[in-house]
Structure 1
C-alpha cells in the first residue's frame, strides 16, 4: 500500500474531487452545511454584484463557478447571481442579455451527477419569464469547464463574474518537502498540517500563496473590465498556521487518531499513514491579503473573516451516535476519494468507522467546538 500514494503530486490533480454519486457519503447528500454557510453570505455576494458594470444586452453575460463540485449548491448560487443581474438590467431600463454559466472543476469531478440535476433550459421563454417560472427551468446556457483553476481556463476578457466558494483552501499539491523524509518539513506521524512543526506549516503556507498567486494571474486575464470576483475559502482567526481551526478539528483530531488506530492494529504501516497528507490550508486574512497585494492585478473591495458555523448537520444534537456518524460522513464526503485511492475501499470503511466511534465519544465537545470561519473576498481589476 505504501507505493499507492494517492496524494502524490503527479496524481492529485487527476483524482481530487468531492465524493461523487448520490450515496450516503456523497457530496450531493452532505453539502447542506456549505449551503447554509453560502446563504449567510448572500448579502456580501449581492453587494459585489452591484459593482459589476452593465454592458450592452447584445453581449452575453458570463458567470463562472470555480470549484463547482457536483451538488445543487453550485446551481442555486449561479441562479442567484443571474437573477440579481437580470433585476439590475431591468431596473436600469434595459433588456437583459443572454446568460451563460460555466461550471468548472478538476476533470475528476462528477460532472455527470451535476448535469443530471441541472434544470432544463427554458427554451423560448424570456429571461424574466424563466426566472419567475415555477417549472424550474433555467434561464442560462450551461457548460462544463474541466481543469485546475490555478491555471488559465477561459479566453481573455470573457467572464463577467467569477464565483468560488469553499474551494481555494484545497492546494494544487501536497508540498514536496512534506513527504520528503530528509526534510525538516517531513510531516511524520501526521496526515494534516494541524499540530505540525513550523517547517511543515511554512511549507503549506508557501504552497497556498504560490497557488493563490497562480489563480489571480489567470483570472486577471480572463475577467472582463468592470467584472467582479467573489471568493470564499476556509480561513483561520489565529496567527499560528499550525492551528487550522475548524479544518484542524475535522482533519487533525479524530480523523488523525483513526489513522493511528489502523497503524497500531497492524492494518497499515506507519509509512502508509505518513505518505498521506490532506492538501488543505486555511489561511489567515494576512496570508490572503499578502498574495493579492503582491500580485497587484486586483483591487480589494472587501476582505473579511465570517463565522460560518458547524459543518455538521444533525437532527438530534443529543444523539452522540448521530453526531459521530455525521462527522465521519462529512469527512468522507470531502476526503474519501483520496483515502479510497490510498488504502482501498475496505480499509477506508474501517478508517471512517473508527472516526465515527471516536467522534461519538466526544460528541458534545464536537458540537460546541467544531466551527468554521471563512475568508470572504470581493475583488475587481485594479
Structure 2
C-alpha cells in the first residue's frame, strides 16, 4: 500500500456502531488517563509567549486525533493545566490569567471528523452560563508526516496512539523479487529479518519527516507530548510481544481460512500489509538525536491496561466479540478498501471464533507496550 493509498483510505472505523473506534477505544482512554501527569510535565516546559494586544492566545494540535474521546480528554487537560499555570505564575494580569485556546484536531482526510465533532460540547462563550468547552476547535486534514501548519504557529503538539502508523508499507515488502517480500503475512511480527529491517527503515524515514515538520511549526519554547506503540529493547522488529503475536496470528489465520475456502485468492493476502511499526526507545531516541531540534525531557516505556470487556471477562463469547470488534475498529477500513465489505465481514467473523477459543489467554495477555515521550524545542 503506497503513501497515497494510505492517505485516501486509512482511518479508524468511524460512526458509533458496535465495531466503531468510538465504541472500542476504552482501553486507550483508560491508558491515557494514567499518562496525563506526563502531559502536564510537558506543558510545564512550554515558554509562555510575550503577550500582545488583547488576550493571550495559546495554540495546541493533536496529530492523529481519530474519532474517539482521547483527543477531547487531551484538549481539556491542556486548557485546565495551562489556565492553572498562568493563574499561579508570573503572568497574573487579567488578560494572561484568562487566556484563549485554539485546539486543532488533525488526521488524514479519511478520518470521521463528523463523529469526533459531534462529541464536542458547546463553546463556553455560547452556552449562556459559562460552562462548556473552553477552546476554539478546528479540523486540519492531512498526514503528520507532512507540513500541516504555518511556521512558528503552535505552542504544543500532542499525538496519542498514532505515531506507530507509517506513511506507507515499504516498497520492498510488496515486491515479489525482494528478500523482504512478506508472502503469506500481513504484519511485520513473525516475518523475516529482511522484512523487519524494511519496516525499520520506513519508520526512520517517516520519523525524520515528522520531527522536521514539527520543528518548523512549533513556536520557540514549544513542546510535544507523544504516546505510541513500542517494543522492548531486547525484542527484534518482528517480535512485538505475546499479545500482538497472538492477535497477528489470529488475523492471518483468518485470512488463510478465506483462501483455503476459495473465497479469496492467495495473491490478495500477499499484497496486503499493515503499515505499522513498533519502535524501541533507542530507535526513537536515535531519530530525535539525528534531527537535533529537540531536547528529550521524558522517554520511557509504559505498559497499557488489559483488554476492556464490559461483560464477564470469563464469558468466552463476550471476549471473542470484543476482540473482533476492537481489531475491526482499527484495521477494518484498510481491509474493506482491499477486499470489500462482504469479505471483511467473513474475515472478522472467523477472527471472533478464534478469539473465543483463546479468550482466557487473551484476557491475561492483552497488554500493549507504549513509548511515552516529552520533547522540547531547543
- Normalised by the length of structure 2, the TM-score is 0.94
Aligned to 1:15: 9
Matches for 1:42-53 after TM superposition, within 5 Å: 42-53=36-47
Distance 2:225 2:362 in 1: 30
Q: Deviations over 1:147-195 (max 9, x none)?
A: 0000110011110110100000010000000000000000001010010
Equivalent position to 1:122, from 107, 124, 127: 124
Provide, for residues 93-134 of structure 1, a one-character-per-residue CA deviation record: whole Å limited to 9, x for no partner.
2423211000000000001111111111111689xx84xx3x
Q: How far does residue 308 in structure 1 lie from its aligned partner after superposition?
A: 1.0
Alpha-carbon distance, 1:247 to partner: 6.6
**Structure 2, unaligned stretches of length 5 or more?**
none
TM-score in terms of structure 1 length = 0.93
CA-CA distance at 1:246 after TM superposition: 6.0
Which residue pairs with 2:86 in the alignment? Answer: 89
Instruction: Write the distance in 2 (CA, Å) between the matches of 1:100 and 1:78.
Output: 9
> What residue is the counterpart of 1:110 in the other structure?
112
Task: Please say if residues 34 and 311 of structure 1, whose CA atoms lie closer than 8 Å, have aligned partners that are also in contact.
Answer: no
Shift of 1:368: 1.4
Aligned counterparts of 1:311 and 1:44: Cα–Cα separation in 2? 23
Q: Which residue in the other structure is 1:163 paired with? A: 158
DSSP 3-state at the match of 2:225 = strand
- Match of 1:295? 291
Pairwise mapping of residues 1-382 of structure 1 onto structure 2 (< 5 A)? 7-57=1-51, 58-92=55-89, 93-94=92-93, 95-123=97-125, 130=130, 133=131, 137-237=132-232, 238-245=234-241, 248-249=244-245, 251-382=247-378
How many positions carry a matched residue from both structures?
A: 369
Report if aligned partners of 1:299, 1:379 keep a CA contact under 8 Å in 2: yes
Per-residue Cα deviation, 1:215-260 (whole angstroms, up to 9, x for no partner): 0000001111111100000011133111022673364111111111
Q: CA distance change for structure 1 residues 182 and 337 in 2, over 3 Å: closer, same or farther? A: same
By how many angstroms is 1:311 displaced? 4.3
Distance 2:111 2:235 in 1: 33
Q: Which runs of 5+ in 1 are unaligned?
A: 1-6
Deviations 1:280-335 (A, max 9, x none): 11111111111111111111111010111224434211111111111100000000
- Partners of 1:64 and 1:377 lie apart in 2 by 16
Deviations 1:45-74 (A, max 9, x none): 111111112234544100100000012221
Distance between the aligned counterparts of 1:10 and 1:65, measured in 2?
A: 22
Task: Tell whether the 8 Å contact from 1:309 to 1:373 is kept in structure 2 after alignment.
Answer: no
Secondary structure at the counterpart of residue 344 of structure 2: helix
Runs of 4+ in 1 over 6 A off after TM superposition: none
Query: What is the deviation of 1:369?
Result: 1.5
Q: Assess if the C-alpha contact under 8 Å between 2:10 and 2:333 holds in 1.
A: yes
- Report if aligned partners of 1:121, 1:138 keep a CA contact under 8 Å in 2: yes
Q: Any conservation in 2 of the 1:312–1:327 contact (CA below 8 Å)?
A: no
CA distance, structure 2, for counterparts of residue 114 and residue 125 of structure 1: 20
Question: What do you get for the CA RMSD once the two structures are aligned?
Answer: 1.6
